[in-house]
Amino acid sequence: MLIERKVNSEGYLDSEHSVEKPDSVYRIGFFGDSYVEAIQVSIENTFFKIIENKLKNYNVETLAFGTSGHGTIHSYLKSKKYAPYFNLDLVVYVFCENDLGDQIKEIKQVDFLPYIRIVNDQLVIDNESVIKSQYKYRWGKLKRFFYANSILFQNIARRLSLIIKYGIKLSPTKQELQMANYRTQSSVPNQNDLPSTWPQSFKLQAIKQCEKVIAQWFKDLKDQNRKFVILYIPRETEWKKALPNQDSWKSWLKHYCEQLKIDFIDPTESFMAKSYEGKKIFDGHFSVYGHEAFAEAFVTWFIRNKTQNNLTVHY
C-alpha cells in the first residue's frame, strides 16, 4: 500500500511547526534515522504523533527530525541546530542498532555526510567529504547557493545520493530488515551486522565515538537547560531474549546511560504486551502496532517523570 507523506519546510516528514514556541507548550524533538522518518505509515500512525495525541492534556507538541541513513553524529548535529531553533524542552535521541556503523566513514562509504574523529581524546567533526562532494559534480553557482542555504535542498539532495549509492531495493533481505546480518569475509563490517561479528578494532572505535557524541550532546543540552533522553529501538531478532543473551548494542548503551545519568527508555515491556495480543511489532520497520507500542513506552516514562517532578511541564 502506498503511503502519501508530505515534507515540511525544513525537509522532514513531519507537519509544519512555527519557529516561535506557543505559550504553555512543552516541545519534544525526536532525532534519528528512518525509524523516525517512518515513511511506512501515515503521519497519524507515527509514534511521535501518537505521543502528541496521548499527551495533549500536558500541552505537548512533538517534532520529528528523521533522516534515513543517519547515525548518532548526524542526529546530534541536527539537534545542535534545531533544539535552540525551535526552543525544544526535551530532546529524544531515538537510537537504532545500525547507528554506530552509520557514523564511521569506512563502514558507511558515502561522501556527502559528516563523520567524526577522536583527536587528543576530543570529538572532531570531519566535514571534508561533505565539502568535496558539493564540488564533485558540475553544480552551478545557483545550485551550490541553495545547497549551502537550504536544509530542505540538502535533505532532498542527500536522499537522492543515497538512492544513487545503494539503489532502491524492492525486496531487501530478511537479514537487512532485521539488522541481523552475519559479517562476510570482509574486514570492514556492515552497519547492520550483529555486534558479535564485528572485528574488535571497529567495535572499539564505534563504541568510543558513540560515547563521545552522546556525552557531548548531553552536555550541550544540559548547558542550555534542556532535558535529554535516549529512546531505544530493540533489534528485531534479539528483543525477546534475556539481556545477557542478546547480540545487540543494548547492554553497552544502557550501562553507558546509567554512567552519565541519562534516562534510557526501553520499550520491551510494551512490545511484549502487544506481542501477547498477537500483534506484529516489526514489518521491515515498525508496523502500526509497533508505533503504538513504542509510543506507549515513551508516554509511560513521560507521565511517571512528570509525576516525580523530573520534567518541567507547562500547563
pLDDT digits (tens, 9 = 90+) for 65-113: 999 999 999 999 999 999 999 999 999 999 999 999 999 989 988 877 8
pLDDT in tens, 26-41: 999 999 999 999 999 9
Domain-embedded: residue 9: no
The answer as to whether 135 is a domain residue is no
Calpha distance 285→66 (Å, rounded): 13
Distance CA 217, CA 32 (A): 14
- Residue 1: the pLDDT is 60
- pTM equals 0.85
pLDDT at 235 over 80: yes
Tell me the pairing of strands 90-95 and 227-232.
parallel
Query: Is it the case that residue 185 has pLDDT exceeding 60?
Result: no
Instruction: Give the confidence band of 126 by pLDDT, cuts at 50, 70, 90.
Output: confident
155: in domain: no
Domain residues for 85?
26-112+170-307
> Half-sphere exposure of 36 toward its Cβ, with a 13 Å CA cutoff?
26
Confidence of residue 148 (pLDDT cuts 50, 70, 90): very low
Domains held by the chain: number: 1
CATH number, domain of 99, equals 3.40.50.1110
In a domain, 267, yes or no: yes
- For residue 315, tell me if it sits in a domain: no
In this predicted structure, what is the pLDDT of residue 81? 97
Angle between helices 141-149 and 128-136 (to 10 degrees): 150
Q: Which of 11-15, 126-130, 176-180, 280-284 has the lowest mean pLDDT?
A: 176-180
**Residue 312 falls within a domain, yes or no?**
no
Single out the residue of 56, 45, 2, 17 nearest to residue 294, CA to CA.
Answer: 45
Q: Which has the closest alpha carbon to 289: 40, 58, 28, 14?
A: 40
Q: What would the mean pLDDT of 274-284 be, rounded to a whole number?
A: 96
Residue 139 lies in a domain: no
Residue 85: Cβ within 10 Å count: 11
Q: Is the pLDDT score of 314 beyond 50? A: no
Asked if the model's pLDDT at residue 163 lies above 90, the reply is no
Q: Is residue 153 part of a domain?
A: no
- Across residues 19-24, what is the average pLDDT? 95
pLDDT of residue 3: 82
Q: How far apart are CA 94 and CA 66, in angstroms?
A: 9
How far apart, in whole angstroms, are the C-alpha atoms of residue 247 and residue 9? 39
